[in-house]
Amino acid sequence: MTQTENRPSVSDTPLVPIETIVSLCKRRGFVYPNSEIYGGVAGIYDFGPLGVELRNNIRRYWWWSMVQTNDNIVGIEGAIITNRKVWEASGHVENFVDRLVDCKNCKRRFRLDHLPAENVEQNKCPVCGGELTEPRTFNLLMETYLGVVEGERMQTYLRGEACQNIYLDYDNVLKSSRMQVPFGICQIGKAFRNEVTPGNFLFRQREFEQWDLQFFVHSSEMQQWFDYWKERRFEWYQGIINHKDRLRFRAHGSDELAHYAKQAFDIEYRTVLGWQEWEGIHWRQDWDLSRHSQYSGHDLSYTNPVTGEKFIPWIVETSGGVDRTFLFLLLDAYEEEPDPAGKEPRTVLRLHPMLAPVKVAVLPLQKNKEELLNTAKNIHKRLQRLMVSQYDDVANIGRRYRRQDEIGTPYCVTVDFQTLDDQTVTVRERDGMTQVRVAINELPAYLLERVTWK
Ligand code: GAP
């Protein structure tokens, strides 16, 4: 991805409080609390007009860089509901649990693995110092039922992680797409978890969206592919943020590793709440395909067409979240910039132009001149077919620029009196606030060059 021109240094801007982003999201139509008029549901959100554009851009960019531009990767879209045996084979029915404690005094609830060690040892609430209850265990899978006749309905689960579809469709993909190991399957899809402590806005939700690459390899090449994807994924995140110093790897400790995993890393981003997981790079070995072979009775091994060797492929997983990307991008992009003229600070979302929900705003300089309005509307109509464009003629031009800066629109096109003489417009860039004159007939190419993937 290319960066916006004239991007100022952003490494020293302060960490943004989550509440600032929550408020912006509600005010400008990025994110709303779900079922708000009924009091809401903890850990579930809806996405508004700008939110859905940003989400689509985030998803499209991931898909473009993982599926479209890699010859050895294909994509699928599996169903949210599967046979319940899937979740027995995956180990979720037995092991997908959180251990909870409650404070007997202030009644707050905590996940045992989130408590500081000293509070666990002393059985003490980290907020009020009260005594904690004995830990209780909760399964995070969300149950559902298929069928209409009471007593004959099949109990199953909404998927607790999206990647399971990939193992289920792995054999079909092999047979229908002529892929050969090493190769990968990608998917973006919803996952559901009955999180006992949802919170921090989009960070920990009960309904959220994951993206997964499951990359199938011969065991002898596992380390090489693990290292490859670990680096590629880190670079991917580096490419979409401004504050590169807020990104790091964290290696999982031996107490966190699954029994089959030689190693695992989280890509973490630093927010006001500290370092937080953005994506996991997991060494899944042959666990998933072996378990599904065993539980289904369907042999999921692969036969090398050249050597004839038959084996269960090992898997490198890279698993991240659309919602965490959405949240971290907003935290990364948000800035309140002092105004040299001493007026209100300028709020600007320095989102990468290719991810920004609105790419261009077309603004007639004045509202009282019919010719300016018509020219601006015509330009907007032309641009709208190529990218998300907004037309705005309400309030003075300074206020309209501010409105667009606050939602991250990288370019504003102003139609002024000179436009009527020479068919050029002013293009104002969000970050540096620089302005250039561009001929109307060159405008689509000028903007497309700056706002599309390459
Ligand atoms: N298949 C592996 C897996 O599901 P995970 O670490 O549980 O691993 C992967 O989840 C990613 O999904 C996380 O790195 C995070 O981005 C996202 N994620 C997990 N739980 C989430 C939640 N409750 N709310 C929002 N995103 C979540």
Identify the sign of the CA torsion 353, 357, 360, 365: negative
Q: pLDDT-derived band of residue 388, with 50, 70 and 90 as boundaries?
A: very high
pLDDT at 8: 46
Q: Which residues have C-beta within 8 Å of that of residue 114, sequence separation ≥ 6?
A: 197
Q: Is the pLDDT of residue 150 over 90?
A: no
The first and second tokens of residue 363, run together, are: 């603004």
pLDDT at 160: 97
pTM for this predicted structure = 0.94
Q: Is the pLDDT of residue 444 over 80?
A: yes
Beta carbon of 98 within 6 Å of any ligand 1 atom: no
Angle (CA) 115 120 126, round 5°: 55
Exposed / middle / buried, residue 277 (Cβ in 10 Å: 0-12, 13-18, 19+): middle
Least confident of 23-32, 293-302, 336-345, 353-362: 336-345
244 CA distance to ligand 1 middle (Å): 22
Owner of token pair 């069928």: 147
- Name the residue of 95, 210, 252 to mutate for ligand 1: max ligand atoms within 8 A of Cβ: 210
Beta carbon of 319 within 6 Å of any ligand 1 atom: yes
pLDDT at 2: 40
Chain centre to alpha carbon of residue 367: 39
> Peptide bond before 182: cis, by omega within 30 degrees of 0?
yes
Inter-residue contact 381 to 331 (CB < 8 Å): no
Beta carbon of 209 within 6 Å of any ligand 1 atom: no
The first and second tokens of residue 453, run together, are: 């993937």
Q: How many CB atoms lie within 10 A of CB 312?
A: 19
SS3 string of 362-393?
Answer: EEECCCCCHHHHHHHHHHHHHHHCCCCEEECC
Q: pLDDT-derived band of residue 10, with 50, 70 and 90 as boundaries?
A: low
100 beta partners: 111, 136
- Mean pLDDT in residue range 69-79: 98
Beta carbon of 288 within 6 Å of any ligand 1 atom: no
175-216 pLDDT, tens digit per residue, is: 999 899 999 999 999 999 999 889 899 999 999 999 999 999
Q: Which atom of ligand 1 is nearest to the CA of 324?
A: 16
Beta carbon of 284 within 6 Å of any ligand 1 atom: no
pLDDT at 11: 58
- Mean pLDDT in residue range 372-395: 98
Q: Which residues have C-beta within 8 Å of that of residue 451, sequence separation ≥ 6?
A: 353, 354, 356, 359, 360, 387, 410, 411
Give the orientation angle of helix 18-28 with respect to helix 322-333, to 10 degrees.
Answer: 100
Residue with CA at minimum distance from ligand 1 atom 11 = 320
155 beta partners: 145
Q: Is the pLDDT of residue 32 over 80?
A: yes
Q: Which atom of ligand 1 is nearest to the CA of 319?
A: 9
Q: pLDDT-derived band of residue 3, with 50, 70 and 90 as boundaries?
A: very low
pLDDT at 13: 81
Residue with CA at minimum distance from ligand 1 atom 20 = 204
Q: Is the pLDDT of residue 4 over 80?
A: no
pLDDT at 224: 98
DSSP assignment letter at 112: G
270-288 pLDDT, tens digit per residue, is: 999 999 999 999 999 999 9
- Mean pLDDT in residue range 43-65: 98
Q: Which atom of ligand 1 is nearest to the CA of 206?
A: 23
330 CA distance to ligand 1 middle (Å): 18
Q: How many CB atoms lie within 10 A of CB 444?
A: 16
113-129 pLDDT, tens digit per residue, is: 889 999 999 999 999 99
356 CA distance to ligand 1 middle (Å): 24
Rounded Cα distance, 358 and 62, in Å? 19
Reduced to 3 states (helix: H, G, I; strand: E, B; else coil), residue 51 is helix
Q: What percent of the chain has pLDDT over 70?
A: 97
Strands 411-415 and 360-364: parallel
322-376 pLDDT, tens digit per residue, is: 999 999 999 999 999 988 777 889 999 999 999 999 999 999 999 999 999 999 9
pLDDT at 305: 95
Q: Is the pLDDT of residue 390 over 80?
A: yes
80-123 pLDDT, tens digit per residue, is: 999 999 999 999 999 999 899 999 999 998 999 889 999 999 99
Arithmetic mean of pLDDT over the chain: 95
pLDDT at 453: 85
Exposed / middle / buried, residue 306 (Cβ in 10 Å: 0-12, 13-18, 19+): exposed
Rounded Cα distance, 206 and 192, in Å? 6
Q: Which of 384, 269, 317, 302 is nearest to 15 (CA)?
A: 269
Beta carbon of 205 within 6 Å of any ligand 1 atom: yes
pLDDT at 178: 87
pLDDT at 430: 98
Q: Is the pLDDT of residue 396 over 50?
A: yes
Identify the sign of the CA torsion 368, 370, 376, 381: positive
Rounded Cα distance, 166 and 184, in Å? 10
